[in-house]
Each structure stands twice: as structure tokens, then as C-alpha cells.
């Protein structure tokens, strides 16, 4: 169950980053660390642009 919740948080964070939300609001909504958010942005979003 923890993996599913983690995957949902990851997907939500990715969506919010693409929409332009601030890292602070994403961290509150998903309980992910800033380090995790930057990794999502660097590895999954930036290569597509």
C-alpha cells in the first residue's frame, strides 16, 4: 500500500510541477522532499523540453 501511495504522490508532484506550482505547495500536498521534487523535474520533465 505504501508503494501505491508513493506512486500517486510522485504522479501528482509531476503534474503539479508541469502546471507551474511552487515547490512549497507541492511538498505540502505530497509530503515529498525538495530533493525528490528536483529529481522528478531533472529526470522526467526537463529531458522532454
Task: Please count the other Cβ atoms lying within 10 Å of the Cβ belonging to residue 19.
Answer: 8
- Report in angstroms the alpha-carbon separations of 45 from 1, 2, 25: 26, 24, 18
Number of structural domains the chain divides into: 1
Q: What is the mean pLDDT of the chain?
A: 90
- Confidence label for 2 from pLDDT (cuts 50, 70 and 90): low
In which domain, by residue range, is 13 found? 2-48
Who wins on pLDDT, 47 or 2?
A: 47
Distance CA 26, CA 33 (A): 9
pLDDT higher than threshold 70 for residue 4 = no
pTM of the shown model? 0.83
**What residue has cell string 500536498?**
29
Question: What is the pLDDT, as a whole number, of residue 1?
Answer: 38
Q: What DSSP element (H or E) covers 23?
A: helix 23-30
Amino acid at each position: 500500500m505504501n508503494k501505491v501511495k508513493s506512486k500517486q504522490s510522485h504522479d501528482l508532484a509531476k503534474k503539479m510541477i508541469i502546471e507551474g506550482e511552487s515547490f512549497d505547495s507541492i511538498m505540502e500536498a505530497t509530503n515529498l522532499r525538495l530533493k525528490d521534487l528536483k529529481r522528478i523535474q531533472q529526470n522526467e520533465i526537463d529531458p522532454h523540453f
